[in-house]
Copies of this chain bind each other. A is one copy, B any other.
Amino acid sequence: MHLDFGVTGGASLTPMKGNLPPATVARLPLYLRALIDLAAGQSTCSSEELAECTGVNPAQVRKDLSYLEAAGVRGVGYRVATLRDQLRAALGLTRSYRVAIAGAGNLGRALTMYPGFMDSGFEIVALFDVDPERIGDEINSIPVSPLGALEDVVRDRGAAIGIIATPAEAAQEVADRFVAAGVQSILNFAPAILKVKEGVVVRRVDLSTELQILAYYQGAN
């Protein structure tokens, strides 16, 4: 929404194929998932089919995919395996990412055990909490470390992504410390707007906000 999209100053290392429009980036994971589902059944698929299973307009699908190295064959469609690999490459999913989670409450623990993360190459390597009762617990064989040790542990385990699942009050401090420890991207579940230095990308997932938006469309009746 109000992200600084990385690009710090002039000539920065931009992702593979030059910069993709943000709206396109947000759809690539949808296509990727659809292709993984399709992979077993067919070797080729059309923009029409991809549109069908992602809920995106077919012209949109073609436009999005045209930003990648030409992946389609006119009259035939896209090769499922090839396109899948190109999408992975474009998203930077050819390597794995180590992830640290701050907050070992219900949400933090659920995220630690979330199977979808591992499936797409994200490995949870650290979990933090302030509560002495929780420190030392093992969630999914990740021990809960004290928040005081955040910088050391994050650096030690080489986490590149931080997830904030703390109360709102703690979110900014945790973010600052994640960044100080070298984290480059943050996924923030706390209902707070974070200020971070340029070059650090923040995405916010606000669960209450999602329900409030649904409430609006329910029509206040």
Q: A interface vs B, CB < 8 Å?
A: 1-2, 5-6, 13-16, 20, 25-30, 32-33, 53-57, 89-95, 97, 99, 106-107, 109-111, 113-114, 116-117, 119-122, 160-161, 184-187, 191, 193, 201, 203, 205-221
What's the nearest-Cβ distance from chain B to residue A97, in Å? Answer: 6
Give Cα A91 to B214, complex, Å.
9
What is the distance, in angstroms, from A30's C-beta to the closest C-beta of chain B? 7
For the complex, would chain A's binding face be called helix, strand, loop or mixed by DSSP majority?
mixed
CB of A132 to closest CB in B, whole Å = 21
* Interface pair A120/B205, CB less than 8 Å apart: no
CB distance from A127 to the nearest CB of B (A): 13
- Known contacts: A14-B219, A92-B220, A218-B185. The answer to whether A203 contacts B213 by CB under 8 A is yes
A86 CB to closest chain B CB (Å) equals 12
List chain B residues, Cβ under 8 A from A109.
Answer: 106, 110
Give the interface centre of A30, A55, A214 by most chain B CB atoms within 10 Å: A214
Closest chain B CB from A193 CB (angstroms): 5
Nearest chain B residue, comparing its CB with the CB of A26: B213
Return the contact of A215 from the options B33, B92, B207, B215 (Cβ within 8 A).
B92
7 pairs of A and B residues whose beta carbons are closest in the complex? A92-B220, A110-B110, A106-B110, A2-B55, A185-B214, A116-B208, A29-B209
A219 touching B92 by the CB < 8 A rule? yes
Excluding A26-B209, A116-B208, A203-B214, 15 further A-B contacts by CB distance (< 8 Å) are A1-B26, A6-B217, A29-B206, A29-B213, A30-B209, A32-B212, A53-B193, A91-B220, A110-B110, A120-B208, A120-B211, A120-B212, A185-B218, A187-B214, A205-B207
The answer to whether B205 touches A218 (Cβ under 8 A) is no
Q: How far is the CB of A33 from chain B (nearest CB, A)?
A: 6
